[in-house]
Homo-oligomer: A and B are copies of this chain.
């Protein structure tokens, strides 16, 4: 105990001269602790710095430093001419450290916001977090084929040599090196006509949708979605109180006439023209022109998601809507998650010229760009040709795997599953026999360690045959017979259920 000639007696204050922690910090911590637990009474006068220094056998500067710090944090108060006092704010208030206790009441989010209401129709559910690499999961590329060694070799000098000027900041719209490579890639491979200026680096499709809706939507606007289609579109629309209008899809892609009949003055039309998700059709040129005309006549915006556009298994990809657009009404976006790695967190959004500044500012306002080292490595991956080589290799691998899976299904499942091979993408479609609920089959399959997705999850009003999306990209040919037999069991057991 430190004895003091005047002022408070200070219990339990010990300063260890041999400790690594500076003595002033030790003293500060000890005093603060005592004030917090009431070991030093509120309102009491503290010993002078001289007195306490002498009591503890330390320098007066050390004590003064600790006192200053305690003052700056409000534990001590200096009063002119009369000394230093412990705050009289109640200790209870100071020591209310009982957070993090699970007994907290029910959420009040529902009361405080209409978030819940906005998601009544289309609940905002966490996506599945597990089972991502289980067999048949659609949308996972062949991750084990990723050229990690090449990537690592490209990244090493980037990380090691990042000069001060390079690592200080990345502009909101992304690194120029990556944007130039993306512009070149999109021009050559995807028929996108844009300057580097128009490209924003985003984390993925959902951030692209966020920016568009944040920038251009008003509550109460309407937006077309494909039905069946990517469920994330409605989630994004709902976040901004934009009403999703499901528009049917046929073999030519989105039925533009139907969209016009349902809601001509929608502000947005979300489409996957390269490879309709999930049915796999390519949008015909006629439909593309119809859609562009609609946008032109009504002032609507086309949100072109180049979903799986890179994985076509025959012929050249069709021209993007973006490249056909004389009027700058198309926002084009895509991601490297299927062509490089799902965990890369890098995508791109091409905005019409007149929105460049607005969208750069919006992006700057809502996020920081992906790690610069990752961006620069991605740029090098493209620039060196490794990217193109990887895609080419994957394309032939996926053709083989899809063909093999389809053959194995015929052997193992026969009439239980009517297999539809698609000419693009990372999954095929398997239609179930009439009367089987695809969600029940998918759940059963999950319980047996497979991860096909029920087609029902992609529909809103559309009446489709019951079926499964079955990924083939991330499984070896060897593993297919066994997985097929397990799927057979799931189908049969669901039937009896």
Contacts and interface: CB of A to CB of B under 8 A. Distances in A.
Given A176-B64, A354-B105, A100 B195 contact: yes
Interface string A131-147: 01100000010011010
A198 B318 CA distance: 45
A327 B424 CA distance: 52
Given A124-B362, A365-B236, A286 B99 contact: no
A84 to B, nearest CB: 9
Interface stretch (A69-77, A303-311, A453-461): A69-77
B168 A357 contact: no
A252 B72 CA distance: 8
Given A129-B171, A155-B159, A172-B127, A367 B206 contact: yes
A144 B162 CA distance: 9
A372 B105 CA distance: 34
B100 A356 contact: yes
Contacts of A467: none
A222 to B, nearest CB: 14
8 smallest beta-carbon distances between A and B, as pairs:
A74-B284, A69-B315, A74-B285, A343-B372, A204-B368, A203-B368, A78-B195, A132-B169
A151 interface: yes
Interface string A52-78: 000000001110111111011111001
Interface residues of A, number: 158
Contact of A170 (B106, B112, B343): B343
A474 B165 CA distance: 11
Contacts of A113: 215-218
B216 A109 contact: yes
A314 B109 contact: no
A297 interface: no
Given A217-B113, A343-B371, A206 B80 contact: no
B207 A367 contact: yes
> What's the number of copies of this chain in the assembled complex?
2
25 contacts: A22-B165, A32-B316, A65-B165, A71-B197, A73-B282, A80-B183, A87-B285, A96-B324, A98-B326, A100-B193, A101-B197, A107-B355, A109-B354, A109-B355, A127-B364, A132-B169, A143-B164, A144-B164, A164-B474, A169-B342, A170-B345, A210-B367, A236-B366, A343-B373, A345-B371
A152 B159 CA distance: 6
Contacts of A421: none
Contact of A148 (B160, B206, B232): B160
A210 to B, nearest CB: 5
Nearest to A362: B124
A345 B357 contact: no
A431 to B, nearest CB: 20
Given A93-B289, A104-B328, A146-B167, 17 more contacts: A60-B177, A69-B315, A75-B285, A87-B286, A94-B289, A97-B323, A100-B197, A105-B354, A124-B361, A126-B364, A129-B172, A143-B164, A169-B343, A204-B367, A345-B371, A346-B371, A371-B371
